[in-house]
Amino acid sequence: MSILVNKDTRVVVQGITGREGMFHTTQMVAYGTNVVAGVTPGKGGQWVLDDKIPVFDTVKKAVETTGANTSVIFVPARFAADAIFEAADAGVELIVCITEGIPVQDMMRVRAYLDQKGSRLVGPNCPGLLTPGEAKVGIIPGNIAIPGNVGVVSRSGTLTYEVLYAMKLLGIGATTTVGIGGDPINGTSFLDALKMFEEDPQTEKVVLIGEIGGTDEQKAAQYIADHMTKPVVGFIAGQTAPPGKRMGHAGAIVEGGEGTAAEKIEALEKAGVKVAKHPEEIAHILKDL
Partner 1 sequence: MKLHEYQSKQIFAKYGVPIPKGRVAATAAEARQIAEELGGRVVVKAQVLVGGRGKAGGIKLAKTPEEAEERATEILAMKLKGLPVRKVLIDEAANIAKEIYLGITNDRAARKPVMMASAEGGVEIEEVARTMPEKIIKIHIDPLLGLRGYQTRDLALGIDLPKEHWKAFSKVCFGLWEAYQKSDATLAEINPLVITDEGEILAVDGKMIIDDNALFRHPDLAEMRDLDVEAPEETEARKYGLSYIKLDGNIGCMVNGAGLAMTTMDVIKLYGGEPANFLDIGGGANAEKVAAAFRIILSEPNVKAVLINIFGGITRGDEVARGILAAMEEVKPQVPMVARIVGTNAEEGRRLLANANMITAETLVEAAQKAVAAAKGGAQ
Answer for which of 143, 171, 269, 270 binds partner 1 (CB under 8 A) is 143
Our CB check for partner 1 shows the closer of 120 and 249 to be 249
Answer for which of 86, 192, 211, 217 binds partner 1 (CB under 8 A) is 211
Cα 9 to chain centroid, rounded: 15
Give me the catalytic one of 227, 249, 278, 284. Answer: 249
Q: Which stretch binds partner 1 (CB under 8 A): 52-60, 84-92, 211-219, 221-229?
A: 211-219
Cis peptide before 279 (omega within 30 of 0): no
Binding track over 249-288 against partner 1, x by CB under 8 A = xx-x--------x---------------xxxx--------
According to DSSP, residue 77 is labeled H
Cα–Cα distance for residue pair 228/197, rounded to 1 Å: 9
Q: How far is the CB of 65 from partner 1 (least distance, A)?
A: 30
Binding track over 59-98 against partner 1, x by CB under 8 A = ------------------xx--------------------
HEC profile of 220-257: HHHHHHHHCCCCEEEEEECCCCCCCCCCCCCCCCCECC
Cα–Cα distance for residue pair 263/47, rounded to 1 Å: 51
- Quickly count: other Cβ atoms within 10 Å of residue 227's Cβ: 11
200 binds partner 1, rule: CB under 8 A: no
Opening angle at CA 35, ends 34 and 37, nearest 5: 145
Answer for which of 156, 175, 176, 177 binds partner 1 (CB under 8 A) is 156
Q: Which stretch binds partner 1 (CB under 8 A): 58-66, 157-165, 194-202, 225-233?
A: 157-165
User: Is 38 in contact with 25 (CB distance < 8 Å)?
Assistant: yes
In sequence order, the β-bridge partners of residue 259 are: none
- Is 24 a catalytic site residue? no
85 SS3 class: helix
Our CB check for partner 1 shows the closer of 63 and 102 to be 102
User: Is 137 in contact with 96 (CB distance < 8 Å)?
Assistant: yes
Our CB check for partner 1 shows the closer of 1 and 169 to be 169
Which positions from 180 through 199 interact with partner 1, judged by CB under 8 A?
182, 184-185
- Quickly count: other Cβ atoms within 10 Å of residue 284's Cβ: 15
Which residues make up the interface to partner 1 (CB under 8 A)? 27, 77-78, 101-109, 111-113, 139-141, 143-144, 154-162, 165, 182, 184-185, 209, 211-212, 214-215, 235, 237-242, 245-250, 252, 261, 277-280
Residues belonging to the active site: 249
